Amino acid sequence: MPYKKIGLICTSDSLPSFVVLLKRLGFDIKALWCPDTDVSIQTAAENDISFVSNKPDEVLLRKDVEMLIITGRPSFHAQLCIKALGIGKHVLCSAPAALTLAEAQNMVQVAHYYPQILALVGYGMRQLEIFRRMRKLIQRSYIGTPLVAEVRVQAPPLYSREDYDWLWEKTAGGGVLHMVGCHVIDLLAFLLDRRADRAQGLVETHAKRHQTGGFRRLNADDFASFLLRMPGMSATVTLNAIGESDFEQEVCITGSEGQLVARNLQLFGFQSGTDTEQLLFDEDADLTSANGDLGSSHGSSQAGGSLNHSHSSIASLRRASVEQSATSLQNAAPSPSHQLQIPSPGSIGGGSFFSNMSPDDQLLYAPMPRLELYEKAFAKLLESLSAAIPHYDSELEKAGGSWKEIVPHLASVASFEDVRYVTAVIEAIRYSSDSGDWVSVQSDADTKTVDSSVSEI
């Protein structure tokens, strides 16, 4: 059974390494788009991809594209997902997949019309082994009854310090609440099997102005702290993208009989009656011992080959791939099936490349911040998808219902309904930050706005 033929919509800085990763996982890339035409053409030439477009819609309209993988500027995500599902294409969209509850509701409605079409979302933390084990331990009462969840994330700045781009704008998907908070909110729901019904939060922007003295002001948040009330328990989350520190994430679940703590990719446990916490699982060590180093070169990749350690590779692949593509950019040849007008080469991501762009183009071309833990998680999701796809057509003939029933291997992957819940929580947090009150979270199927009425505790 061949793998699905995909169309790829991606950011310019991630495209070369992302293509290599997908090919190693056995995906057949039939068409691609990224904002920088030069990078698209160069990457296509290096990887035998026959179609390059300067319009995202042309990728999803290709007859030989069966699945669309979308990762890039979040303000594009919802409309591309809706278009793709509407013409019968499977979809995998990175997070955040929707920026408003209305967008998320529209995505859910379209997905309900086509329940057998894969509609997947890149909340990849669910696919990491550390959180699968953490979830199982909670279900097996390792810590007794869960009482309190605490999450702390320290991230480097999420916006460009040199050029104005979409990362400056919260309405375009920038900010720590959208870019990090969506993963955390979904992870808590996955670990605890429960969802928040009320939220209270504070969302702030501390870096107000461009360092070079530009006139534009940053309105994407770089700090968020919020409380979530769930049935039988509560959660507190702090997201901090101020300063220059490395990425760190700590997830702590305290129960009546113990505590589980995930520090980055190490899982620790503490039970009542013991003196010290124990290291229960180290995903970094597990990956290193099992797999070794991946990010050496493009030439060693084989389409269809296995990639057991894919989830540790995106950052290293990206660094090698972008450097290689940048040095050979001027030798790029256009794809034979789609001739394009090639803009003059520039310095990718540098000042000279952005200096001649309009503000709208600068918004489009911005690279994604490097949050490596979430990149690993998304790569692990791709690995799960590549393993499940060969069974889709055969299982479709046997089973009815939704894609989760057709492909049980993907049952834990987030769906558009999870996007609706996460987006509802984020909107509730923003309402609360403005009003100072507790806000009810409404993400039911018939709800299109957040109920911002004050709730008594």
Coil, strand or helix at 8: strand
In this structure, whether the domain defined by 5-125+303-418 belongs to CATH 3.40.50.720 is answered with yes
Q: Looking at residue 405, what is its pLDDT?
A: 67
Amino acid letter for position 401 = G
Q: Looking at residue 376, what is its pLDDT?
A: 87
- The Cα 40–Cα 49 span in angstroms is 10
Residue 234 CB neighbour total at 10 angstroms: 15
Could you list the mean pLDDT of each consecutive 10-residue stretch along the chain, which spans 457 residues? 75 86 91 89 91 90 92 88 93 92 93 89 92 96 96 83 69 83 95 95 78 63 93 95 85 96 94 89 69 36 37 43 40 37 30 38 43 85 84 63 69 91 95 94 56 34
- The Cα 52–Cα 88 span in angstroms is 21
Partners of 120 in the beta sheet?
Answer: 92
Q: In what order do the strands lie in the sheet with 28-33?
A: 28-33, 5-9, 67-70, 90-94, 119-122
The DSSP line for 235-294 is EEEEEE--SSPPPEEEEEEEETTEEEEEETTEEEEEETT-SS-EEEEEHHHHHHHHH---
Q: Looking at residue 267, what is its pLDDT?
A: 96
Q: Looking at residue 89, what is its pLDDT?
A: 92
- The Cα 113–Cα 93 span in angstroms is 18
List, as own/partner pairs, every contact residues 396-399 make where C-beta atoms lie below 8 angstroms and the sequence separation is at least 24, other chains included.
Answer: 396/116
Architecture of domain 128-289: 2-Layer Sandwich (3.30)
Q: Looking at residue 401, what is its pLDDT?
A: 62
| Tokens 């992302």 belong to residue | 18
**Closest listed residue to residue 323, CA positions, set 343, 302, 298:** 298
**Closest listed residue to residue 389, CA positions, set 140, 112, 22:** 22
The two beta strands, 248-255 and 233-240, are unpaired
| Tokens 């955040």 belong to residue | 96
Query: Who's near 291: CB < 8 A, 6+ residues apart?
Result: 308, 309, 312
- The Cα 398–Cα 187 span in angstroms is 32
Angle at 89 between CA 84 and CA 93, to 5 degrees: 60
Q: Tokens for 186?
A: 């979904």
> What backbone torsions phi and psi does residue 447 show, to the nearest 5 degrees?
-105, 130
According to DSSP, residue 178 is labeled: I
CB 428 within 8 Å of CB 109: no
Partners of 93 in the beta sheet?
Answer: 70, 121
Q: Where are the domains of the chain?
A: 5-125+303-418, 128-289
Chain mean position to CA 203: 21
